[in-house]
Every structure is written in C-alpha cells, then in structure tokens.
Amino acid sequence: MFIPVPETHGRSIAKAVSWRITGSLDTFALSWLITGNVVSAGSIATAEVITKIVLYYLHERAWSFIPFGRRMTLPVD
C-alpha cells in the first residue's frame, strides 16, 4: 500500500545534508578533544560523512511509510 509522502526527495536530501553537517562538526570537535590531533579529528569526521548521509536519508524515507504519529489532513476545497 502506498502512503502519500508530504515531502519531496529533494527536501529529504537537504535535511539529511544539513543534519550531517551538524553531526560532522560535533564528531570533529569530540574527536579533536579525545585525540588532541586536528588531522586525526578531520579524518574521522570526513570518513563518516557519506555513510551517515545515506543512512539518514534511508531512515527518513522509511519513516515516511509509517503512519504512526502522523495527522491526516483533509483536502482544502
């Protein structure tokens, strides 16, 4: 059964990228605090960017098929 999704794929991608930037800055800061090395922190933050964008996008799209907590809107005449 197909449930209409109120968001476009482009919006989901934009949200995934903006969240990933926030997450990567956090990863960089924590890695730098733990390692004390900017290069290592940058390597760690860079390595996780692509995989987490893909995972977030897939997670977001999967949730679009779950009706839990979603309000049904009535068409406006």
Q: How far apart are CA 56 and CA 40, in angstroms?
A: 24
Residue 52 lies in a domain: yes
Token representation of residue 15: 């949200």
Residue 68 lies in a domain: no
Residue 75 lies in a domain: no
Domain with 45, as residue range(s), is 9-63
Q: What is the pLDDT of residue 41?
A: 95
Residue 76 lies in a domain: no
| pTM for this prediction | 0.56
Answer whether 66's CB lies under 8 Å from 48's CB. no
Per residue in 51-68, pLDDT (tens digit) is: 887 888 899 889 888 888
Say which residues have a Cβ less than 8 Å from residue 3's Cβ, sequence separation at least 6. 64, 65, 67
Residue 69 lies in a domain: no
Q: What is the pLDDT of residue 3?
A: 58
Per residue in 13-52, pLDDT (tens digit) is: 888 788 888 988 999 999 999 999 999 999 999 888 878 8
Token representation of residue 51: 């995989």
Quote the number of domains for the chain: 1
